[in-house]
Structure 1
Amino acid sequence: MSARTMRAIRLHEHGGPDVLRYEEVPIPEPGPGEVLVRVHAAGVNPPDWYLRDGMTTMPGEWKSTVSLPVIPGTDVSGVVETVAADVEGFAPGDEVFGLLRFPSFKGSAYAEYVAAPASDLAHKPAGIDHVDAAGAPMAGLTAWQFLIDVGHDHPSPFQEARHQPTALDADTTVLVNGAAGGVGHLALQLAKWKGARVIAVASGAHASFLHELGADRFIDYTTSRPEELVNDIDLVLDTVGGPGSASLLRTLKRGGAQFPVLPGGVGEEEAAKLGITLSSAQVRSNGAQLAELGRLLDTGTVQVAIDSTFPLSDARAAHERAARGHIRGKIVLTAT
């Protein structure tokens, strides 16, 4: 491999995990406002396998901006190699992490090097390693922008009104559906950080894990229906979606809110009849918010759970693991 090339995962066609090809490609050149990052680890997220399967248009877009071959991935942790002349706040040797160019399929994180917008990056917390840092950006910012602060004024492709997080404090009870997953386990911890009481819904295998993260109550959805066990909830964060979303409305008090991370499972009319606010958002890259989350990661107030790690060269196995479901925390690729 020459000095100006690197190894990366690319898609030349859409399909199953077997279409992920590990090959030699040119090292990207950072443009204005960008830094070149030597990747140590890259997080695996649903948009990665959506792209692999053939989704090439983000919600709200009218046409595809994807041209094959393409390097998937958005979550990265690594070390700054070079910076563009107009970049301030980062220097060669800095450890950084970030959610790159989202919402788009142009993150190109499944690689040994990536050109990253400086505004999408934050300094990696010294108290965590690159694997944990790579697992944090998309899931952590999704939880942050749903629960703490949207942090942008971009219109949502899912609704006309701007998403408004619910104030969380000791008088708030939050139910997190899919609490063991990437977004769910971080949302649980952020809600606890704000002082809320949290009810975690997941399969029974995750009960002790979620209690250790601070869940006040656990519901095993494989043996019980949340709407039959709890009511008067202030907020439901539903990270699962699908047909079961509508039944979660019955856990909420009148005036409560349900935030679906995957919109579409609940009718607005039904929510309105029950006096429930239904609101969603689309996560966006935000280095400043990631820096705030990073401070919580550095102190251990919030922790990233790692389901499994795979070398970059075996991204296929990582996607096969994702397809089996029941993921606890995050799947991460290691590039070094």
Structure 2
Amino acid sequence: MTAVLVIVGVTLVALIIAAALFYIITRYFEARYDRTYMTHDERGFKRALAGKVVLWDYEEAVVKGPTAPHIEFVALDPATGGRRTVKLMDPRTGAINLRPQYCAPLPFEAVTADSHKVIVEARVQFSLNRDLLKHVYEIQEFSLALDTRIQSAFRSEIGKRKDEELRGALHDVERGVIEQLRRAEEEGDEAGEPGMALGVRFHTSAFTYTQPDEFAAPAMAGAIVGPGATPEQQVAARAFARAQGVLALRPQQIDQLADVFKDRDPASTAAILSLMDMQTRQNIAEALAASGQLVVLTAQELGLFGAAAQRDAVSRSRAQLGPNGAAPGA
């Protein structure tokens, strides 16, 4: 009887040890400096793991699977030059990447202090903050929130400067963007503070920008017709061109012209003014001709097309002047 009890006791102990080992193995996680795991329970987010951890609380579980938050961002695709989505959480294991990454939002518009539009291509280096992963857990669309915060910071910094100042202040803008992003994290990392932290460390930023062709865009939108355009389409295009006026420039375009003349030598300025004068005269002539106030005749219509017509015109001129080069009766 005693032997049976011993066997049963040993078996129970072995089962308990095996169950404990199985529990430890399945609930053991190793977080490194570049990788961690989030855990939650029925009350929500619990903690971000650091080091070697066994989850002894049976209610605590690693965040993973289809119900886990989508922690991803938009990055450049080196193969195509376009954009791709990069996941920072492995949905199968729940491992979260803490390494620095480069977010590259799609090109977006910003407006300078003097109302010039610029198209911005931005790059921001960031990494997830292990200590603030609670905010990452609570954000439903992390990628959208990150892109919005980055775009807002760039628009704010660009909007403080005029377009001619922006060219020489690229580094100041990049530094100001990082300061804004870091300040937003600090002001929203505790309950009751304004805003909400994203749970991100921002490291560096860089951007380039281009200016849309505001001079050609309005006219190109309505005045261009194809070679096979119908007469009605051609009439509509001319009407649209007349409606633009002889010098239909918006204040932003006039400001851009001022930038063109800035710091130029007199010869360059005179050449640009000469070209603008000729273009303005052409615009005036076309506007008057289209309205019927001016009749424009070609050389062919005047009979001055070709060498023969020119010789006949010279002969008639000589006949009118007489043999001595003077007009008859003079």
* Shared fold, TM over 0.5: no
Choose between structure 1 and 2 for higher RCO, CA contacts under 8 A separated by at least 6 residues: 1
Q: When you count strand as a share of all residues, which structure comes out higher? A: 1
Q: When you count helix as a share of all residues, which structure comes out higher? A: 2
TM-score (norm 2): 0.21
